[in-house]
Amino acid sequence: MAQQRKEQKEQLQKSIRETEAGMKSVPADQQEMMRGIVTTLKEQLKTLDDPNNPMFSKQMEEMVQQSYASQMEEHKNNLARWGKEYPLTPKEMIKRWLTEFLEVSKDIDFNAKLISGDGGKRRFANPEYERKPDNWKRCYRAGKETIEAGRASAKQWLEELNKAK
């Protein structure tokens, strides 16, 4: 907070100097307005030095520190989440994707019946299948042969990745 106060004070002092210097080059009718600006800036400068200024109270400083600590914690959590989602090496991401594919494609009923739905779209006759994730439905559409081949490749690749630690 002391640094912030110092910076604000320097900025106000600079503004006062610049405004006072600029007053010399403006017409007389505008000088009165600029004097008002200088007066306002000087009043703001006084409030910075006021020990009773609530902006720089111990309570305000504690709030700022708590806010900073909270933001840093959130940032740390976001970085951890980012690191998990997008690891430094692609190996971990590929392992996660392969595992997710194997999980979503493990119980596909390729004999599931489709019926006509709204707007000519086809949907599953079994409402439970309608609630399945989109990737499950994509696997169903890809067909049994494709998914079985994909699962075999995914299992093999996952084994290779797990061996190469």
pLDDT digits (tens, 9 = 90+) for 73-126: 999 999 999 988 888 888 888 999 999 999 999 999 999 999 998 888 899 999
Instruction: Give the number of domains in the chain.
Output: 2
The CA distances from residue 28 to 31, 32, 35, 134, 142, in Å, are: 5, 7, 11, 74, 82
144-153 burial, b at 16+ Cβ within 10 Å, e below that, comes to: eeebeebbee
Instruction: Say whether pLDDT at 55 is over 80.
Output: no
Task: Select the more confidently predicted residue: 131 or 32.
Answer: 131
Q: In which domain, by residue range, is 13 found?
A: 1-53
Same domain for 91 and 150, yes or no, is yes
Same domain for 99 and 47, yes or no, is no
Instruction: Say whether pLDDT at 165 is over 80.
Output: no
**Residue at 77 is within a domain:** no
Instruction: Say whether pLDDT at 50 is over 80.
Output: no
Same domain for 49 and 113, yes or no, is no
**Residue at 69 is within a domain:** no
Q: What is the rounded average pLDDT of the residues 8-16?
A: 88
**Residue at 42 is within a domain:** yes
Same domain for 110 and 158, yes or no, is yes
The pLDDT tens digits of the residues spanning 131-144 come to 999 999 999 999 99
**Residue at 75 is within a domain:** no
Same domain for 98 and 44, yes or no, is no
